Chains A and B, each alone.
Chain A
Amino acid sequence: DIQMTQSPSSLSASVGDRVTITCRASQGIRNDLGWYQQKPGKAPKRLIYAASSLQSGVPSRFSGSGSGTEFTLTISSLQPEDFATYYCLQHNSYPPWTFGQGTKVEIK
């Protein structure tokens, strides 16, 4: 099984900050990775697919990069509505499809 290691597990940031979250795969997964945002009590919402493609309707301050084993989600200028938990998910080698452990972005 492919393991996804996400870091950090949590971070505190201020509105306007640049935020970076990383996912590392235990083996190469090409660009078969998505990033999801989840707010409390809500279903996850996909932000990025194919590692770097922006989901329709998602603000351009979100971006993804990486290929192989290391991937990054960047929020260029954190907004109040971005405080949430973020997950990566690989779909290269399955089953299982595997999520990262999540990164909770909190207000500083």
Chain B
Amino acid sequence: DTVLTQSPALAVSPGERVTISCRASESVSTGMHWYQQKPGQQPKLLIYGASNLESGVPARFSGSGSGTDFTLTIDPVEADDTATYFCQQSWNDPYTFGAGTKLELK
């Protein structure tokens, strides 16, 4: 299975720029997607196809990458962005998720 590796946690101040990385154990082309999950809630789609912003998601969120290295960027970060962010690949079977990066605000 394709393993997706994310850093476990980040702490940033409101107004700063944050990048959350996701590295795949093998190429996933641009079949990488990003979700935000707040405590007690279901995941919410942010980015699909590595760089496409889901409708209704603020333009502060952006995604980039291809192959094995991907990045989710939030610029600027707001207090409401406190959440865990998961990457997910759909290029190789089975679909797999990263373990999540918990974003905390200072």
Q: Do A and B come from one complex?
A: no
Q: Which residues of B contact A (CB under 8 A)?
A: none
